[in-house]
Amino acid sequence: MTISIGVTHMVSGDTLAKAFIKADEALYDSKRTGKDKYTFHQAPCQPEGSP
Instruction: Write out the chain in H/E/C secondary structure.
Output: CCCEEEECCCCCCCCHHHHHHHHHHHHHHHHHHCCCEEEECCCCCCCCCCC
pLDDT at 42: 81
pLDDT at 20: 92
Q: How far apart are CA 15 and CA 2, in angstroms?
A: 30
Each residue's pLDDT, cut to its tens digit, for the chain (51 residues) gives: 889 999 998 888 889 999 999 999 999 999 999 878 989 988 765 555 555
29 close to 6: Cβ distance less than 8 angstroms: yes
pLDDT at 17: 92
